[in-house]
Amino acid sequence: MGLKDQLLALKWVQRNIASFNGDPDNVTIFGESAGAASVHYHVLSQASNGLFHKAILQSGVALNSWALGFHAAVEFANFIGHNVSDEKEALEVLKNTPVEVLYENQEKFMEMVDARGRPFSPVVEYPNDTAFITKNAIDLIKAGQYNKVPMIIGFNTREGMLFDVYKVLARLAGKEVKSPPPDSEEAILSLLKIIYRRIKEVYFKSADVEDDARILTSDVIFTAVIIAAIKNHLETSKEHVYVYRMSLIAGLNFLKNLAHLNDLPGVCHADDLGYLFKSVLTPEVKPGSLEDVSLRRFVKLWTNFAKFSNPTPEENELGITWAPAKAEDIEFLDVGENLSLETNPESERWAVWRELFQLHPRTSKFFLTVQEFGDILLNPFAITVNQGQLRGCSMSDIDGNNFFSFLGIPYARPPVGELRFKPPLPAEPWKGVRDALEPGNRCYSRDDISRVLEGSEDCLYLNVFTKALPQSNKRLRPVMVWIHGGGFAIGSNKPALYGPEFLMIEDIVLVTLNYRLGVVGFLSLEDPSLGVPGNMGLKDQLLALKWVQRNIASFNGDPDNVTIFGESAGAASVHYHVMSQASNGLFHKAIFQSGVALNSWALGFHAAVEFANFIGHNVSDEKEALEVLKNTPVEVLYENQEKFMEMVDARGRPFSPVVEYPNDTAFITKNAIDLIKAGQYNKVPMIIGFNTREGMLFDVFKVLARLGGKEVKSPPPDSEEAILSLLKVRKESEVSQIIYRRIKEVYFKSADVEDDGRILASDIYFTAEIIAAIKNHLETSQENVYVYRMSLVAGLNFLKNLTHLNHLPGVCHADDLGYLFKSVVTPEVKPGSLEDVSLRRFVKLWTNFAKFSNPTPEKDELGVTWAPAKAEDIPFLDVGENLSLETNPESERWAIWRELFQLHPRTLKFFLTVQEFGDILVRFNVVM
């Protein structure tokens, strides 16, 4: 059907393109990968005859094994839970299955049948009135029975790098991909089931066996078959075939740059797309740069071919004549930093495929399955917790030392059905040994990196990583429990984002946990009779901490030495646990990275009735709203939640922690600032800090908005409109001019008003309230408080690098994550590099604190003594390329907030959340 959709689109072009000044008699179809295979199928289909006049095939042909499917309707219908015996029954089932269910199951089904090929790809049809293709592609080519048009056909030098991308995606999904050595007999025979020695002799000649394997994979999956297609077409057509190989490595290589694989040699599959199409991820292209010259060269070659059937006509500025290939010798254009002509691409490697095709003719049909390439080899270990036995596996830290991993451990019952919006209940026991080899479901939300809504309500799982198990070593280790950030709306504990490989170089036990997010995690009702006081997400965390107390000794963790730490909303969560008597005794130290409970975005409000009406109902009270929201599919809740949060943004975040009415499961019943000032909280040693440009988060929001197709417009950051709207101060209010002038005087001093605006946003959203929290804790606790500021700009700054904002000064919100956790986007860390030194420094400071309640104990190799803060003076550690001690962070800027707090004394309670300043949760200067 997909090919027939394309066919109908081509017919539409023939009938309508003249209305757009297009020539229906000069149509070139072109595509990449499966798109190129589709183009090739049109070349082979008589149904497409006359609808196009030239074709360009980039990295794919119809002969590629992945371009041929098989019949699987009955098998798939049964896979998704039905019991059918023939295709008629299967068709009826599949016609009536929601599309979401089809696609959720399709991926798992394709994995299961992967060794047999791709079920949902083009097929050779039986003869019928709408048939697109009824003979095998190779038979049509050899018989010359196809649409003979001029063609460009080519490939990239490392098409097989696609599987490095798959590994990145597997880690993103929380799967650790392990493989036998690429030049081993096991690896090669598992790919091809043919002669080991011949492959190794031709392909594995260098010291870099990983890259040799990429070249082999390139040929198996793409290149050998593409060259076979070229040779067969040359024997049966008089039309010109132009052949190319792309070897260009520059800043627009699409998939290689996107997956941060720039350290690998060669050109990845799909890299050519970056030189033909602009995307939301395309970096700035400077005039005259290699990128600019190269994209213009690609475009000129392709459009020349479309215009003249010749990519280098006589009068062209490219300075080269690209000759068409001949059957006896295949001349090709190498598209690198320059254009050069060569003959017989990959000739030595092609020779081995001629031999192997003779030995195993079927190898020309099916080469390699993705499943064989991505098998995860696990080494199991079992331990016992309260609910039953768990089987884990071993992993390696960045130094190559092993540790033990237990993933997806349930700590609560699935909070579904009647348990939605209710406090969590402990997980039930299981029988036998439960595999703890893969992460549990993420809580339904938008993925941090892919931005896709995904997950499940059955999501209350945690992961445990430990250096030793009780069978071999009885000594208990300090425990560090990580609470992820994400504005209480997104995030998960998956190792794809919060990998343990950095922290586990130290002798600790690490726990990472999921908790409910958004409306499901933080809906709150005022009516006590309805039993939904809110804070379900915080209560999930609470139950996880209780689980740690009961079970962590089974992993050699010390339940009497637990440090909780988090970033952003995770840091605010940590602070709420410090505030809550319900968490008393469950932890012994706390680390807050870029967030506290006093931040305005960390306090929600009651919005059940308003939200229920927003999603299309008509309710008048919380009881009716609860009934509606309990029975609304989670997908519908979250699709609407984002739009609703945008609508009420000026009032705050509806689905964040709230102050509850007194109840049996209450987590917090007083305002955080009141608890701190009264000294009514869990007094433990703390590390509290922030990054120099937390406000760069709003530049990230702009990147994401553009990724979603929205244009972001802002007034100048130093304008009255921008400053007062940021603070939500009414222009006509009597203090508005005082506030505007004072802020402009303090913040806007440099020539870079955009960066000045970032600093202002940093203080309003994060820093001012973090410093206020520090000062108030110092007045009411005898426990040490260590303060830091991160100023380090290097290759592991997480959010800044991920969104390509490296040209901006300072350290973005969430950049510190890159120095504590390995993720799917972590680049290679070279030993002794600034990145290597810095991550080890961060890990040492954090784990020292977990071990000794002091980040720089006496016997320490860090070369600095980080003194705790005092009420009168706040010494702090600046974490930059080096560690340095300073006093009173951002003192000049802090002075202005003291003035503004005196103008509006109520701000001493919730700082900038009073009406005159407004709830500052609105995105910084972003107009969607």
Q: Are residues 289 and 415 in the same domain?
A: no
In the residue annotation, 606 being an active-site residue is answered as no
Q: Structure tokens of 642? A: 């984002």
Q: Which residues pair with 510 in a beta bridge?
A: 465, 480
Condensed to tens digits (0 to 9), the pLDDT of residues 507-562 reads 999 999 999 999 999 999 999 999 999 999 999 999 999 999 999 999 999 999 99
More confident residue, 14 or 108: 14
Q: Does residue 606 surpass a pLDDT of 90?
A: yes
Q: Are residues 106 and 154 in the same domain?
A: no
Q: Does residue 373 surpass a pLDDT of 90?
A: no
Binned at pLDDT 50, 70 and 90, residue 722 comes out as low
More confident residue, 596 or 764: 596
Closest by CA position to 640, among listed 514, 752, 523, 801: 523
Counted domains in the chain: 4
Q: Of 665, 684, 703, at which residue does a domain stop?
A: 684
Closest by CA position to 405, among listed 557, 555, 553, 566: 555
Say if 719 falls within a structural domain. Answer: yes
Say if 919 falls within a structural domain. Answer: no
DSSP state of 344: S
Q: Does residue 364 surpass a pLDDT of 60?
A: no
DSSP state of 47: G
Q: Are residues 56 and 135 in the same domain?
A: yes
Parent domain of 78: 73-112
Q: Which residues pair with 445 in a beta bridge?
A: 454
Q: Are residues 462 and 545 in the same domain?
A: yes
Binned at pLDDT 50, 70 and 90, residue 889 comes out as confident
DSSP state of 653: -
Q: What are phi and psi of 45, to 5 degrees?
A: -95, 130
Q: Of 663, 684, 705, at which residue does a domain stop?
A: 684
In the residue annotation, 781 being an active-site residue is answered as no
Q: Does residue 377 surpass a pLDDT of 60?
A: no
Contacts within 8 Å (CB) and 24+ apart, 20-23: none
Binned at pLDDT 50, 70 and 90, residue 327 comes out as confident
Say if 482 falls within a structural domain. Answer: yes
Q: Are residues 289 and 334 in the same domain?
A: yes
Condensed to tens digits (0 to 9), the pLDDT of residues 844-887 reads 999 999 999 999 997 778 889 999 999 888 899 999 999 999 98
Q: Are residues 324 and 277 in the same domain?
A: yes
pLDDT for 570? 98
Say if 258 falls within a structural domain. Answer: yes
Spatial separation of the C-alpha atoms in residues 839 and 844, rounded to whole Å: 8
Q: What are phi and psi of 31, to 5 degrees?
A: -165, 170
Looking up tokens 């019949």, which residue turns up?
71
More confident residue, 2 or 730: 2
Binned at pLDDT 50, 70 and 90, residue 493 comes out as very high
In the residue annotation, 813 being an active-site residue is answered as yes
Q: Are residues 364 and 392 in the same domain?
A: no
Catalytic residue among 501, 694, 890, 916: 694
Q: Does residue 426 surpass a pLDDT of 80?
A: yes
Condensed to tens digits (0 to 9), the pLDDT of residues 611-634 reads 999 999 999 999 999 999 999 999
Please give the helix or strand (H or E) that residue 454 lies within, else none.
strand 453-454
Mean pLDDT, residues 695-704: 88
Residue type for position 775: K
Binned at pLDDT 50, 70 and 90, residue 314 comes out as confident
Catalytic residue among 59, 65, 568, 762: 568
Q: Does residue 180 surpass a pLDDT of 60?
A: no
- Which has the minimum average pLDDT: 371-385, 410-424, 493-507, 863-877? 371-385
Q: Are residues 678 and 703 in the same domain?
A: no
Q: Structure tokens of 353? A: 């495929």
Q: Are residues 231 and 179 in the same domain?
A: yes
Say if 926 falls within a structural domain. Answer: no
Q: Are residues 537 and 673 in the same domain?
A: yes
Closest by CA position to 687, among listed 579, 570, 593, 562: 593
Mean pLDDT, residues 117-146: 92
Q: Does residue 90 surpass a pLDDT of 90?
A: yes
Burial class (CB in 10 A: 0-12, 13-18, 19+), 266: buried
Catalytic residue among 218, 346, 813, 835: 813
pLDDT for 910? 31
Supply the angle between the helices 736-747 and 891-903 in degrees, to the nearest 10: 180
Binned at pLDDT 50, 70 and 90, residue 927 comes out as very low
More confident residue, 189 or 378: 189
Give the distance from CA 52 to its chain's centroid.
Answer: 39
% of the chain residues with pLDDT over 70: 87
DSSP state of 419: G
Cβ pair 62, 122 in contact under 8 A: yes
| Helix residue spans in 553-671 (DSSP H) | 569-579, 608-614, 622-630, 634-647
What is the residue-averaged pLDDT of the chain?
Answer: 86
Whichever domain contains 350, its CATH number is: 3.40.50.1820
Q: Of 373, 395, 429, at which residue does a domain stop?
A: 373
Q: Are residues 247 and 269 in the same domain?
A: yes
Q: Does residue 708 surpass a pLDDT of 80?
A: no
In this prediction the pTM is 0.64
Q: Are residues 468 and 360 in the same domain?
A: no
Q: Structure tokens of 197? A: 């020695």
Counts of helices then strands in the chain (DSSP H, E):
31, 21
Mean pLDDT, residues 884-903: 73
